[in-house]
């Protein structure tokens, strides 16, 4: 439920609805509130609960989980008395050695490089705003986030792991590694971090800093 906030017009922001192009003057929103178009009801701007602190905590946790997911074994397969230990980077390398370099690159980008860059860029922007630091490349990092999001496919990678469990269940004995637990937690934390991140609100704050 949206609650109107009465503020001076000089503190508000002009924003056009992306659905019907109606121009709105939106006052600063308190955490947990959303501004919607008075004509079509589309979401204009949202201020997530917890503010920047919650987003920073979630993205920091996601970064730690991503490092853990790449630091330990993901799966251990026992076939014919021989053990094969696999980690996340090893999955891409196995595809490359199997003669599928294009697929290996896609898997590496969508499961390791893309999520890593998205988390780092998000933290860079959030910490710069939270600590009021004038660091270079903040606007560039924020603009790159929309390009990185389509390349983050953690859930698709996990779906592939589940398919492998089903396909190899009768052929090999599989043992879950520490990285798999970290990866499952990463999916949930990354989803929560995304929901707490509002690019439009951050652009608004960067615009305020630019005018000062």
Run of H or E including 76? strand 75-79
Under a CB-based contact definition with an 8 Å cutoff, are residues 37 and 22 in contact?
Answer: yes
Question: Three-state SS for 27?
Answer: coil
**DSSP secondary-structure letter at 110?**
I
Per residue in 46-92, pLDDT (tens digit) is 777 778 899 999 999 999 999 999 988 888 777 776 777 778 888 88
Query: pLDDT per residue over 99-137, tens digit each?
Result: 889 988 998 999 999 999 999 999 999 999 999 888 898
In the DSSP assignment, the letter for residue 72 is S
CA atoms within 13 A on the CB side of 104: 13
pLDDT band at 181 (very low <50, low <70, confident <90, very high): very high
Question: Higher-confidence residue: 47 or 142?
Answer: 142
Q: Measured at the alpha carbon of residue 46, what is the angle toward residues 43 and 50, in degrees to the nearest 5?
A: 155
Please state the φ and ψ torsions of residue 119, each to the nearest 5 degrees. Answer: -65, -45
């Amino acid at each position: 439920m949206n609650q109107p906030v009465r503020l001076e017009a000089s503190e508000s922001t002009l924003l056009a609805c992306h659905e019907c192009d109606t121009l709105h003057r939106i006052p600063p929103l308190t955490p947990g509130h959303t501004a919607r178009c008075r004509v079509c009801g589309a979401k204009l701007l949202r201020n997530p609960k917890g503010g920047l602190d919650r987003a920073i905590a979630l993205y920091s946790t996601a970064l730690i989980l991503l490092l853990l997911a790449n630091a330990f074994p993901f799966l251990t397969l026992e076939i014919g008395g021989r053990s094969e230990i696999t980690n996340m980077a090893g999955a891409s390398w196995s595809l490359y050695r199997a003669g599928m370099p294009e697929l290996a690159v896609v898997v590496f980008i969508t499961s390791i490089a893309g999520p890593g860059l998205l988390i780092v860029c998000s933290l860079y922007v959030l910490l710069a705003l939270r600590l009021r630091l004038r660091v270079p490349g903040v606007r560039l990092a924020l603009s790159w986030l929309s390009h990185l999001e389509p390349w983050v496919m953690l859930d698709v990678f996990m779906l592939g792991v589940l398919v492998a469990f089903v396909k190899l269940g009768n052929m090999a004995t599989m043992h879950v590694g520490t990285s798999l637990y970290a990866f499952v937690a990463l999916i949930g934390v990354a989803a929560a971090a995304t929901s707490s991140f509002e690019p439009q609100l951050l652009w608004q704050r960067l615009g305020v800093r630019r005018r000062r």
